[in-house]
């Protein structure tokens, strides 16, 4: 689906206008999404919006053919409880809006599921992480196109928060497979951190990707394929309605569909500090499809999102709510551009 320019601009206008106001309230929004406390609702004096996207308008629970700017809120607050300045618009520049209830997203930290083990040769879709991170997922294998890098070196791709611990990591830091929470030690090191795209925290500056690469150690054997999916056939754009799949460290193989392809969201970057937010723009929003229970959970960060039929990469999964009902992925073309790499 090619999004018309007027809808794209309307989305950008609302995103700039609404998202910055909720930077300090992600922890409250997380609580709101899982409680029915009347007292808490009565104390809310702003909208509970945390994301803006573009997708099909939903009427009476059914998806229509009409495009709308979608406003995602942690809870729909009765208009009578909100001051007029906090009411969300029914349209913007002649484009209809659609208010949808959905919990806010946080980066997918590791859970306590230890079913991911050491695997040699390496394949994509398994447990991996920086030495000071719990665990995430190895997305795929790549080569660098950046001047000065060895064109013959092989790199592994994942998120900044998996390989670089949200900007804290240094070039040369150890990356192990499996990740530390899954039992990985120095004897399991497979790569060293090579570079990452810095994440701008605070919620004011825009981010395009949560991405990093590690350079494989010389003796590390690998196979350029993805668990239960196989070898990639290239890359493509993730468009609204596309059926996708992924294989991650925690949930393994799951399927979903792209619901929004220009998704702007405030994302919590530190589980110990829910108010440490970063604004990500023009992302892919994915919703799980039956019979799967979640598109991704803690530990699935870094999973490569693949068009199911075409077997082409479309995104890099990095965040979602605790229940996994939806996920957020960086468009793969932007990941490859900013890291200056190409997939094998």
Q: 């699935």: which residue's tokens?
A: 300
Q: Determine the Cα–Cα distance for residues 214 and 154; give it in Å rounded to an integer.
A: 9
Q: What is the token pair recorded at 52?
A: 């803006």
CB 316 within 8 A of CB 282: no
For the residues 127-151, what does the mean pLDDT come to? 97
Which residue is listed with tokens 């229509």?
64
244 torsion bin: left (phi>0), alpha (psi -120 to 50), beta (else): beta
Check whether 44 has a pLDDT greater than 60: no
Taking 70 as the threshold, does the pLDDT of residue 110 lie above it? Answer: no
Nearest to 318 by CA among 338, 340, 337, 299: 299
Mean pLDDT, residues 181-185 taken together:
95
pTM of the model: 0.89
Degrees, nearest 5: CA angle 314-242-105: 70
Which residue has 């059926």 as its token pair? Answer: 243
Whole-number Å distance between alpha carbons of 88 and 276: 25
pLDDT score, position 89? 86
Q: How far is CA 205 from the centre of its chain?
A: 17
Q: What is the pLDDT of residues 49-59, one digit of tens each?
A: 889 999 999 99
Q: What is the mean pLDDT of residues 209-238?
A: 96
Decide which of 2.160.20.10, 3.40.50.1000, 2.40.10.10, 3.30.200.20 is the CATH code for 104-344: 2.40.10.10
List 9's β-bridge partners, or say none. none
Give the CA radius of gyration of the chain.
20
Across 16-30, 88-102, 122-136, 163-177, least confident range = 16-30
Residue 31 has a pLDDT of 56
Polymer length of the chain: 344
As a whole-number percent, the residues of the chain with pLDDT over 90 amount to 71
pLDDT for the residue numbered 1? 61
Q: Is the pLDDT of residue 308 over 90?
A: yes
Q: Where are the domains of the chain?
A: 5-102, 104-344
Indicate the pLDDT class of residue 165, thresholds 50, 70 and 90: very high
Q: What is the band of 78 on the pLDDT scale with cuts at 50, 70, 90?
A: confident
∠ CA 326-184-316, rounded to 5°: 30
Instruction: Report the alpha-carbon distance of residue 313 to residue 236 in Å, rounded.
Output: 6
Q: What is the DSSP letter of 230?
A: B
pLDDT at 106: 83
Backbone angles phi, psi at 155, to 5 degrees: -120, 155
In 3D space, the residue among 247, 294, 302, 254 whose CA is nearest the CA of residue 133 turns out to be: 302
The 3-class secondary structure across 97-139, one letter per residue, is EEEEECCCEEECCCCCCCCCCCCCCEEECCEEEECCCCCEECC
């Amino acid at each position: 689906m090619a999004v018309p320019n007027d809808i794209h601009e309307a989305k950008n206008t609302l995103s700039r206008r609404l998202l910055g106001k909720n930077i300090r309230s992600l922890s409250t929004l997380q609580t709101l999404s899982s409680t029915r406390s009347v007292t808490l609702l009565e104390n809310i004096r702003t909208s509970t919006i945390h994301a803006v996207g573009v997708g099909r308008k939903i009427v009476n629970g059914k998806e229509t053919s009409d495009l709308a700017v979608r406003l995602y809120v942690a809870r729909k607050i009765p208009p009578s409880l909100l001051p007029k300045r906090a009411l969300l618009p029914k349209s913007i520049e002649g484009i209809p809006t659609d208010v949808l209830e959905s919990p806010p997203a946080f980066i997918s930290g590791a859970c306590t599921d230890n079913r991911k083990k050491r695997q040699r040769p390496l394949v994509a879709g398994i447990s991996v992480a920086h030495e000071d991170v719990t665990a995430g997922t190895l997305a795929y294998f790549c080569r660098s196109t950046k001047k000065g890098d060895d064109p013959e070196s092989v790199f592994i791709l994942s998120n900044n928060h998996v390989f670089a611990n949200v900007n804290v990591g240094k070039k040369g830091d150890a990356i192990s497979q499996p990740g530390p929470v899954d039992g990985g030690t120095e004897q399991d090191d497979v790569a060293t951190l090579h570079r990452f795209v810095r994440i701008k925290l605070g919620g004011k500056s825009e981010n395009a990707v949560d991405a990093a690469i590690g350079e494989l150690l010389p003796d590390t054997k690998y196979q350029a394929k993805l668990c239960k999916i196989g070898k990639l056939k290239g890359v493509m754009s993730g468009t609204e309605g596309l059926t996708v799949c992924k294989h991650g460290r925690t949930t393994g193989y799951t399927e979903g569909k792209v619901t929004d392809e220009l998704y702007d969201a405030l994302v919590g970057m530190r589980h110990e500090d829910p108010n440490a937010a970063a604004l990500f723009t023009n992302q892919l929003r994915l919703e799980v499809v039956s019979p799967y229970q979640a598109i991704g959970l803690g530990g699935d960060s870094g999973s490569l999102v693949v068009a199911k039929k075409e077997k082409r990469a479309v995104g890099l999964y990095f965040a979602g709510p605790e229940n996994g009902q939806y996920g957020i992925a960086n468009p793969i073309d932007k990941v490859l551009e900013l890291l200056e790499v190409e997939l094998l």
